[in-house]
Structure 1
Amino acid sequence: MASLQTLFVFITFLCVIETFVSAQFTNFNKLVLPSGVIGPESAAFGGLLVNGPFTTVTDGRIMKWQGPTVGFVDFAYTSPRRTKQLCDGTTDPNMGPICGRPLALSFHPVTGLLYIADAFSGLMVVGPTGGLTTQLVGGLKFAAGLDIDLLTGNIYISDVSLTYDIRDTTKPGFIPDSTGRFLRYNPLTRQVSVLLSGLSGGGGPAVSSDGTFVLVPELTAKRISKYWLVGPKANTAEVLINFGGNPNKIKRAERFGEFWVAVSNGHIPPTPPIVPEGVRINSNGVVLQRVSFAREFVNVTISLVQEQNGKLYVGSRFTNFIGVYSN
């Protein structure tokens, strides 16, 4: 009898913990960009004191949140041709090659380096003081996502297409192709390896905390694949989960072995209204939680759901703010 009571208490404890973890993040706040600036597609936290978030914006800047009194300030930029007079506040996609178009960020917590995927310039890096970034990998048609293997230092990159760039996606009659690639950059050898090809659409990959696999999204194919890094399946991939909507960037959740996926239902093919949500999955592709963002992100796609200190930071190409959800 005592053992049954103990088991009951243990199960109740687990249920309470899961209920707390799975709360629906009903409190909402905005981190608003400077006037005239839009497109915070990515967010990253880093530095010795884990500050930020840092974010990418449409006019080519990487900005850093300095608290509610100061707001966002300039931190880095990816194009040496960029000038504030020409580029600040621009939403013209044709200015991307001049102003830069950073789409994804990932911090290395040990070195303090911030790695950037820029749609035109490829893989970039900048130090803790910011400024002009340094190009590590060029020649990519449409770099859209990245993540760092914290055990090896290798960097994994999503290159959306071999035939079109980000400007093409806004043209009338645009049709996505299946020429995307999943790449690995080794910072020691400075070599780039193509791990997967023929992918349908981009997004942002996520390396598992134990470094055994990478999750690779395909935006237009509506699925995520698991690419094994070690073990008997090393260097092979398998479909982990299919979605009804379009998965964009994937980020590690705060619970070990779990991930948050930014999903936009009704995006491609277009079936408005678009309904954005965060989907929490485990390493086996089991959906653990869905959080709708449709009330605050009305009929727009989202690109990122980043968990930090129990809050969800949500980014979109079409807003002038990062949404912050808490319990």
Structure 2
Amino acid sequence: MARRLLHPRRWTPQQLADPGPTGPLTVRHRLPTGDTGPEDVVFDHTGRIVTGTADGRIVTLDPETGERRVLAETGGRPLGLHARADGGLLVCDHDKGLLEVRPDGTVEVLVDTVDGVPLTFASNVVESSDGTIWFTTSTSHWDLENYLGEALEHTSSGRLLRRDPDGTVTTVLSDLKFGNGLVLSPDESHLLVAETTGYRIRRHWLTGRTETLVDNLPGFPDNMSLGSDGLLWVAIAAPRDRLLDRLLPRPGLLRLLVWNLPDAVRPKATPIAWVMAFDLDGRLVHDLRAADGSYGFITSVTEHDGTVVVGSLTENDIAVLAHLPG
């Protein structure tokens, strides 16, 4: 299949800072999902892990025994998840849009168009106590298989959207650099939004103001979660690519050349397993990394009562991490 034409936009990232102290990321055990690509992981109201796989299934797993149960099948590609107190879920499905999965496993489409245009690449979702749903889209131009195109093009076409209880959908932010992970603060005063290709996490106050919480990250932030420890846990899918950082401010022809290289020689994500955790003032608390091949391309992380679990777009299993250092 021919590749989509690239329309590069210039952007100058900040100079990559020297890394500070890091700790080891150690996998305690793996939990098979029955398929591949558990892109997001969350804990449900019973303490079981919930994830979606590439074959469209939503599965729950016991974090200790690995006992697996299929909750639902979306018929698409589930990505970001939000667990409801009643045992149901909200699901961002790459193919289907924003979905509701009821406790009995039935699936309903909540949003599949925005302003008359099909909803594309829904990424992550949270819900407030009054039933308002907030969700992100990563890009309006690319699909999951060709996400590298968005990194090279840098169109900043990701969005933050709101679905009110009456079903009205409103675009809140429309300039996100690959909108991704989404967290609602405990007091529901603001949202935290990961911009994967912007190397940052933004804070959007529900009163309307938006600011940067963490900037100039050393890698690509993906899904995020608020742990029971009160920390903002952030999956870092891969380290920043120094070649990409050099190309982004330059004429787009150079990125066009890279995009048209054969797959075998195009830039690829550095294999690493990496998560970070911040307090809600943006101060770094944990920076855990492993490059031993024990796990890779982490796209989600969640913590519950001291248990840290990670998921990946490319692995077949979920990984439960060893106890945190210190």
Residue of structure 1 aligned with 2:94, choices 93, 100, 119: 119
Summarize deviations over 1:286-314 as a string: whole Å, max 9, x none: 1111112433555x321101102211110
Do 2:229 and 2:306's aligned partners in 1 also have CA atoms closer than 8 Å?
A: no
The answer to whether structure 1 residue 134 and structure 2 residue 108 are counterparts is yes
Q: With structure 2 as the length reference, what TM-score do the two structures score?
A: 0.76
Larger Rg: 1
Letter aligned with residue 88 of structure 2: L
Going from structure 1 to structure 2, the CA distance change for 1:314 and 1:181 (only over 3 Å counts) comes to same
User: Given the alignment of the two structures, is residue 323 of structure 1 paired with residue 312 of structure 2, yes or no?
Assistant: no
**1:276 Cα deviation (Å)?**
3.0
Partner residue in 2 for 1:165: 143
- Once the two structures are TM-superposed, the CA of residue 324 in structure 1 deviates from its matched residue by 0.1
* In the alignment, structure 1 residue 200 sits paired with structure 2 residue 177: yes
Q: Distance in 2 between matches of 1:122 and 1:130?
A: 17
Give 1:117's aligned amino acid.
C
The answer to whether the aligner puts 1:52 opposite 2:48 as a matched pair is yes
Instruction: Go from structure 1 to structure 2 and tell me whether the alpha carbon gap of 1:189 and 1:236 turns closer, same or farther (over 3 Å shift).
Output: same
Q: CA deviation at 1:71?
A: 3.3
Alignment correspondent of 1:155: 133
Within a 5 Å distance, the mapping from 1:14-33 to structure 2 comes to 26=26, 28-33=28-33
Structure number with higher relative contact order (C-alpha < 8 Å, ≥ 6 residues apart): 2
Partner residue, 2:250: none
Indicate if the aligned counterparts of 2:142 and 2:149 stay in contact, CA closer than 8 A. Answer: no
Displacement of 1:70 after TM fit? 7.0
Superposed CA deviations along residues 174-231 of structure 1, whole A, max 9, x for unmatched, are 6453111011112x211111111111113221001111111011111111100012xx
Q: Which amino acid aligns with 2:28?
A: F
Answer yes or no: is the 8 Å Cα contact 1:53–1:65 preserved in 2.
Answer: yes
Aligned mates of 1:76, 1:162 — CA distance in 2: 27
Distance 1:68 1:252, change over 3 A: closer
Q: How far, CA to CA, are the matches of 1:238 and 1:277 in structure 2?
A: 25
Matches within 5 A, 1:1-327: 26=26, 28-34=28-34, 37-47=35-45, 50-65=46-61, 71-79=67-75, 100-109=76-85, 111-131=86-106, 133-139=107-113, 140-149=119-128, 151-169=129-147, 175-186=153-164, 188-229=165-206, 234-242=207-215, 243-256=217-230, 258-266=231-239, 269=244, 270=267, 273-298=270-295, 300-327=296-323
Q: Deviations over 1:47-74 (max 9, x none)?
A: 4xx1421111011111122577673232
One-letter code of the match for 2:211? E
SS at match of 1:220: helix
Q: CA–CA distance in 1 between the matches of 2:123 and 2:156?
A: 15
Matched-pair contact (CA < 8 Å) for 2:226–2:233: yes
Alignment gaps of 5+ in structure 1: 1-21, 80-99
Judging changes above 3 Å, is the alpha-carbon distance between structure 1 residues 78 and 28 closer, same or farther for their aligned structure 2 residues? Answer: same
Q: Distance in 1 between matches of 2:38 and 2:175?
A: 28
- Kept in 1, the 8 Å contact 2:61–2:68? The answer is yes
Q: Is the 8 A contact 1:264 1:274 kept in 2?
A: no
* Matches of 2:235 and 2:315, distance apart in 1: 15
- Do the aligned partners of 2:95 and 2:120 also contact (CA within 8 Å) in 1? yes
Aligned-partner Cα distance in 1 for 2:136–2:189: 18
Which SS does the other structure have where 2:98 is aligned?
Answer: strand
- Between the two proteins, the alignment pairs up a number of residues equal to 272
Q: Is the 8 A contact 1:147 1:157 kept in 2?
A: yes
Deviation at 1:255, TM superposition (A): 2.2
How far apart, in 1, do the equivalents of 2:234 and 2:322 lie? 17
Q: 1:297 to 1:204 in 2, by over 3 A?
A: farther
Cα-to-partner distance string for 1:215-253 (whole Å, 9 max, x where unaligned): 011111111100012xxxx21111111201000011002
TM-score where L is the length of structure 1: 0.76
Identity rate, percent:
28
SS in 2 for 1:204: strand
Give the unaligned 5+ runs of structure 2.
1-21, 114-118, 245-266
